[in-house]
Amino acid sequence: MKIDGKEYRTVTREEMREMDRIAIEEYRIPGIILMENAGRSVAECVLTAYREKGFARPVLILCGKGNNGGDGFVIARHLNNRGLAVRVLFVGSLAGVRPDSDPGVNLEILKKMKTEPGAGRREGGPSPSLNVEEAGDDLSLLRDALTDCELVVDALLGTGLKGEVREPFKSAIEAVNAASKYVIAVDTPSGLDCNEGAPLGCAVRAGETVTLGLPKKGFEKSGAAIYLGKLSVGEISLPGELTLQSPD
């Protein structure tokens, strides 16, 4: 698959999961480092889009409890450190994020951080915590947040999704699509089956997708393009030999 002039091989979710396993267990690369690299790669793309499009309002980052949401926490930290105002909204219950998991570690880091000077706060005012808001199952908070932003980072559901999208994510995805904001999806648009390139009931229609490591098989399907938008590959520093051939 050719992306930005470079030829990539495509992988299934199962192949990507195996590559991650080998990187972590055999190459001894901690999973939290892969998450850090993923979040930083996406944050750079968000920063570029934000500046090129002349946006001024806070970036809305929507997170779920899995690794995709963990990537979102990392993205929020990097954007905040670069001086962008960010609003992090967690769909579901934060109690479902294990403190000892990679997403949990990044969530705790984020909760202890302060917003950068100039990042959407009154000059000379106090530097508030970079708060993570819990939407729960009531999505009225999400709908309000969507009216106050120009760019949305979709870190709700990752490539591991197989079954039909359930609530509250179904309604969250529908709200994002109805808001018609510029959306950058992390790894895959939430709800899109990355093996088949088709929505699992519903899927985010992104303006841009930063897929991690390698593009996924389903992205080659003709129907996937309307959900993916502009496609790029985020570097997560997997060993080069893993990305060049299928793992044994």
Contact 77, 115 (CB under 8 A): no
In degrees to the nearest 10, what's the CA dihedral of 185, 89, 37, 109?
180
Q: How far is CA 150 from the centre of its chain?
A: 16
Q: What is the pLDDT of residue 242?
A: 85
For the stretch 105-155, pLDDT in tens is 999 999 898 766 545 443 333 345 577 899 877 789 999 999 999 999 999
User: E strands along 55-122, which residues?
Assistant: 59-63, 86-91
Contact 65, 95 (CB under 8 A): no
Going from the C-alpha of 10 to that of each of 36, 41, 43, 201, 215, the distances in angstroms are: 23, 19, 23, 24, 5
Nearest to 215 by CA among 4, 11, 5, 6: 11
Query: For each of the chain's 248 residues, which pLDDT tens digit applies?
Result: 999 889 999 999 999 999 999 999 999 999 999 999 999 999 999 999 999 999 999 999 999 989 999 999 999 999 999 989 999 999 988 998 999 999 999 999 998 987 665 454 433 333 455 778 998 777 899 999 999 999 999 999 999 998 999 999 999 999 999 999 999 999 999 999 999 999 999 999 999 999 999 999 999 998 999 999 999 999 999 998 888 765 44
d(CA 42, CA 32): 15
In degrees to the nearest 10, what's the CA dihedral of 218, 61, 161, 176?
-80
The answer for residues whose C-beta is within 8 angstroms of residue 22's C-beta and 6 or more apart is 242, 247
- Tokens found for residue 185: 């999806």
Which contiguous run of DSSP H or E holds residue 84?
none
> Which residue is it, tokens 């990355």?
194
pTM score, two decimals? 0.92
Q: What is the pLDDT of residue 126?
A: 39
d(CA 206, CA 190): 9
Domain 2-115+129-240: which CATH class? alpha beta
User: If 0-12 CB within 10 Å is exposed, 13-18 middle and 19+ buried, where does residue 136 land?
Assistant: middle
d(CA 235, CA 37): 7
